[in-house]
Structure 1
Amino acid sequence: MTTHSTTPVTVLGLGPMGHALATAFLTAGHPLTVWNRTPAKAAGLVARGAGAAADVESAVRASELVVACLMDYDAVRGSVERAPAADAWAGRVLVNLSSGEPGQARAMARWAGERGITYLDGAVLTPVATIGTPAAAFLYSGDSGAYDSVRAALASLGGSGQYLGDEAGRAAAYELALLDLFAASVAGLAHAFALARAEGIDPVDFGRRAGGTGGLLTAMAPAFGESLAAGNFTGERATIASAASALRHIVAASDAHGLDTGTLTAAKAVMDRAVAAGHGADGYPRLVEHFGAGRE
């Protein structure tokens, strides 16, 4: 491939994230070609010097690095199928930054390989506003040769990019697990505010206090990983039994106000399984193994 500053790049898909990726490449000086099902979305980029391809095959042929950021893996596959000519992909790398499941990433890698397409899967871990800045973060997995060939160009997206190995589904697996944490945390935050409001607590004051409690996760996450790796589930600082007791009070208070307790009762069920299995005196990391229990 050509150098970082001159590698031609094509971006397929100009939703908010795709547009941000394209803007970062253009700002970094890459010759840029874009394609979107709605051509009007390319107007601002074209005004800055990007080329707008009339179809996917033209977009692919224009660049050595093709970055897809579409709704999902099906959309990527459907778009790529619009450039069926084998020679259209010769010497090119397809980097898929669309969100999806690990199994879909692995299937996409197989599908691409069967068609002679050099494929790299990836995940964007930070919001649109971070793209092109030091705060951006990306994960990549799949063909190591592909990653080496486009690594310098991908650096134009800002922040840090980490390669996780040849297993194509690894980046998607990390992304979903991290989104799992975020989604559950947001649901918990919203429920906490609902309970606080039901009790007449000022939301601004509660928000300040909640920030400190939420910050505990920053310290807990690395400790969780270390405990799981070592198989050490000591409950010296906090136990599952005490957490289960506190959760019963939260559920009761929420029920008293008529609040939805679905997420709370689901969490309580996991803790109850752990206690029933004799792990009540263990620390929170022990709960991980109980998410696979009781699902027959």
Structure 2
Amino acid sequence: MELSQLEAFVAIAEAKGFSKAANKLNLTQPAISRRIRQLEDMLGASLFDRIATGVVLTEPGESFLPYARRAIASVRDGVDIVRDGLAQARGAVSCALVGTLASTGITDAMHAYCRAYPQVELTLRTASSAVVSTLVLNGEVNLGVRYFDDPNPDLKRILLGDERVVPVAAGDVGDQTQASVPLSQLYKKWLSFPLEQHAAQFNYPVLLRRQVLQAGIEGVEFVDVDSLTAQKRMIEAGFGCGLLPLSSMQEELDRGTLRVLDWPQLCTGIPVYLIYRSRAYISPALQCLVTALQTATL
């Protein structure tokens, strides 16, 4: 089995077609087709089904894909070891993080890192917590920053701290005008990210529901909204309230369109973890970034 065959397989799976994958790898279509035939012959299984719009993975192909990605990532780690023989913080480092964390001190720590190590090319991308873990495991990024722990044994996890989350409502609703009415009677509609039906890990929607129920609010209606920005806009319009990261709504608080409810029972924190592959090569540049992020203020 050759690395070029694995690269061809992964490229076709991601592009969902031989022609696009061939262009990405600067190969002719006969050349990339030959590599896949050789790989399928060696595995004794067909990896792709041809359809009108391109190709789809067969069941063996779906099973083989994550292993192929990780094999490619391991080879890249070996290349990095050789290239970093001088143990200098240089080269390229990639990181995926949950978008809402861009409003925290994490981005300040990354900016300081870039100033301190100008020879390092740092690339960033945003994704949900689950996708951040997948990107790290597949070797598509070196490092991830996500909410909540991921117990996958193939990941190293470092707790960076807790991001504060607070209950919020529209800024034009005042407690003073209804001071005799308990907050639990005023706020019964809560906006939340949808529950993940098959999620094995504790996550944000579960956290919200736990806090609301522990606060003794009865007759609660949870409204699924899959975007933090949409949640803020709907809360501003009076369609409910929410439990949101404090760092994500500073502009709305300054404008007065959102306000924090004085409701200590609902205030809590979301653990933020730094993750990377357990068997990954930690280059000097990556180690410096890990150290920098551990000093970030959430």
Whichever structure has more strand as a proportion of its residues is 2
Per the normalisation by structure 1, the TM-score is 0.27
Per the normalisation by structure 2, the TM-score is 0.27
